[in-house]
Structure 1
Amino acid sequence: MGEAFSPTAADGDLARARDGDEAAFTRLVRPLRPELHAHCYRMLGSVHDADDALQDALLRAWRGLARFEGRSSLRTWLYAVTTHACLDLAESRGRRMLPMDLGPSSERAVVDGQGPLGDVAWLGPYPDAGPTDGPAGRYERREAVELAFVAALQHLPGNQRAALLLFEVLGFSAAEIAAMMKTSSASVNSALARARRILAEKAPSLDRQRAPRTIGDPRVREIAVGFASALERGDADALIALLTDDVTWSMPPLPHWYRGIAAVADFAVQVPLTRCPSWRYVLTGANGQPAVAFYVGEGAALPHAAWSITVLTLRDERICEIASFLGAEHFAGFGLPAVLPAVRTTGDGGR
């Protein structure tokens, strides 16, 4: 994978940074921050943990820059520093989970059951790449942060997770990874083999085809709008018509989740379509997939508060997985407000 910055400019900033020029160091690492942050998210399954890990990694890099001898590229060295920062954080905070990791699905809607579980480290959504990324960068990030892929990664021990990501996603060789991880190429290859077996068990149907899935694709946008507007209108039939027979719906931090059209339909009718007075929405993108930011209010013309970032997984132009990440804390990372103001007319859904 090519360097993300001009070698000549980078060499000059590297020399200045080694002399203690913090502004030069900032310029040096700025082009690499988005991909390093995405790597942290894949390793840790949380935007907030990714923020912490990257901040720690860049501090380590700044303090240890004098030890960078140039035997590898600066990018490779920064990935090594960042990966170790992620491994340290993962060890202290544990792996991120989805409701599916806690127990079997519920056959009927749980209306007055157990509330949010605050003692579980939940997987979180990841905002899509911004408009400044080129087409190749958007595709690469989309494939590498898909929700099912990141969820499956959380089942791997840290060293296997790191080896798999560095090799399969980032294209480093086994020898380069061995140098990064301070181990042997044989150990890296063994970790890769074990990681691939576990990943195949945890996500046997993981779709890696290059099919259109982003909110910018017209058909995908049409499906996302159909789902969101059906919820907004309270149209159960229209919503259910968009789902596959084996659809799942989960809502971390709630432990309950649903599998199959009957269970999901029962939940949809009993809870969001009945117990929530008014919905508005904003289309967005998360984990390289279509997503909807939902807001709930007491009436159509009243203010609506942030409720969930709902990530949709599609198969054959239907929705096969719905993951609603509840909580206003997710919205800032998507550049979305915590409240949609009151409106005089209805029906625009905040679009």
Structure 2
Amino acid sequence: MSQKQAELDLLQEMRSELTGYCYRMMGSIVEAEDAVQDTMLRAWQGWDQLRDHSSRRAWVYRIATNICLDRLRSAKRRALPMDISEPAATVAEPRDSLPRDSWIWPAPGDGADPADILISRESIRLSFIAILQLLPPRQRAVLILNDVFRWSAGESADALGMSTAAVNSALQRARAAVNRSDLRSEELKKGAAEADAELIDSYVEAFEQYNIEALIALFNGDGSLSMPPFTMWVRGSSDLSSFYSITRSHCLGSRLVPVRANGNSPAFAQYAPAGAEGPLTPWAIHVLEISQGKIAHIHHFIDSELFARFGLPPELKRN
């Protein structure tokens, strides 16, 4: 193997951890992967100019950070629906929506990030991503590198082009802001990232049969459901039942394909009928939040572009 190829392989080995970093920064796996692609290109173009191998990791992270900061400069805060409005007072077919860049989107949770050994999976849960978006971008970067990736202040300073004192000051402010945060989605942090097999099987069976009574029985009493890019979300057994009834005509006949998302939270890709005949087509990624053996919340991320990011096929044949 040539020296050049070995160095290219070394750079490629960083792709997964860089994607995890950029996703926490951006709140969107699509934006994160685009940022990483730009990072890899810029790093490779300048690779030969950097002779000190020990500083290459910090140098690559500085490139990635600057790309994220540039993209975040004019961006508004991404959020989850439950953090920007009250639950729907009247349940109706959702109509009001916000642009894609308004929302936090899920990321595949395949455990491929080599930093998983050292990093708590809680740091990629959707509720934690929502908290990160409250921080100014540079504070966000400092918190991720220090408290998530467990870098020292000196290492972070090298990667971010800051002094160690500036990193420590930014970290202190970021931690204080996180502790002051009062997002509704923070309630979901208390739940488990995993669900028992019986609950998962029951959810798939109830949804694919579209048995509304069975679905409602799987939720906590104050369980809830959201569906970005729509702003509306619903909470409570009665409103959940009404919502499922309203959306029955669209979802009846759907099939769920198991996937993993955000720290290996249980999740499913929903393929829905596009008509009376023909294949089932991508509709939504369901990410389940579990608490005390019941469903606390389901995020229905309605964006067919996510399916390719999760390595899913563009359609399914009907049974």
Counterpart position of 1:39: 21
Residue 238 (structure 1) aligned with residue 219 (structure 2)? no
1:100-115 alignment runs, 5 A limit: 100-111=82-93, 114-115=95-96
Q: In 2, are the aligned partners of 1:108 and 1:267 still within 8 Å (CA)?
A: no
Counterpart position of 1:76: 58
Return closer, same or farther for 1:62/1:71 CA change in 2, 3 Å cut-off: closer
Q: In 1, are the aligned partners of 2:188 and 2:289 still within 8 Å (CA)?
A: no
Q: Measure the CA separation in 2 of the matches of 1:294 and 1:192.
A: 40
Structure 2 unaligned residues grouped into runs of 5+: none
Q: CA deviation at 1:332?
A: 0.8
Residue 156 (structure 1) aligned with residue 135 (structure 2)? yes
Q: In 1, are the aligned partners of 2:108 and 2:261 still within 8 Å (CA)?
A: yes
Equivalent AA in structure 1 for residue 290 of structure 2 = L
Question: Could you say what secondary structure the match of 1:64 adopts?
Answer: helix
Say how many residue pairs are matched. Answer: 315
Question: Could you say what secondary structure the match of 1:310 adopts?
Answer: strand
Could you state the TM-score of these two structures normalised by the residue count of structure 2? 0.87
Q: CA deviation at 1:312?
A: 0.6
Which of 253, 260, 271 is matched with 1:278 structurally?
Answer: 253
Q: CA deviation at 1:253?
A: 0.7
Return closer, same or farther for 1:78/1:265 CA change in 2, 3 Å cut-off: same
Return closer, same or farther for 1:275/1:30 CA change in 2, 3 Å cut-off: closer
The root-mean-square deviation of aligned C-alpha atoms, in Å, is 2.7
Farther-moved stretch of structure 1 (246-255 vs 187-196): 187-196
Return closer, same or farther for 1:221/1:75 CA change in 2, 3 Å cut-off: farther
Counterpart position of 1:256: 232
Could you state the TM-score of these two structures normalised by the residue count of structure 1? 0.80
Q: CA deviation at 1:142?
A: 3.2
Question: Could you say what secondary structure the match of 1:162 adopts?
Answer: helix
1:150-189 alignment runs, 5 A limit: 150-189=129-168
Residue 126 (structure 1) aligned with residue 107 (structure 2)? yes
Counterpart position of 1:331: 307
Question: Could you say what secondary structure the match of 2:157 adopts?
Answer: helix
CA deviation string 1:224-251 (max 9, x = no partner): 2222221211212211111122322110
Q: In 1, are the aligned partners of 2:274 and 2:281 still within 8 Å (CA)?
A: no
Q: In 1, are the aligned partners of 2:188 and 2:296 still within 8 Å (CA)?
A: no
1:292-311 alignment runs, 5 A limit: 292-297=268-273, 303-311=279-287
Greater RCO, 1 or 2 (C-alpha within 8 Å, sep 6+): 2
Counterpart position of 1:7: none
Question: Could you say what secondary structure the match of 1:207 adopts?
Answer: helix
Question: Could you say what secondary structure the match of 1:26 adopts?
Answer: helix
Question: Could you say what secondary structure the match of 2:158 adopts?
Answer: helix
Equivalent AA in structure 1 for residue 284 of structure 2 = S
Q: CA deviation at 1:337?
A: 1.4
Q: In 1, are the aligned partners of 2:119 and 2:149 still within 8 Å (CA)?
A: no
Q: Measure the CA separation in 2 of the matches of 1:324 and 1:294.
A: 9
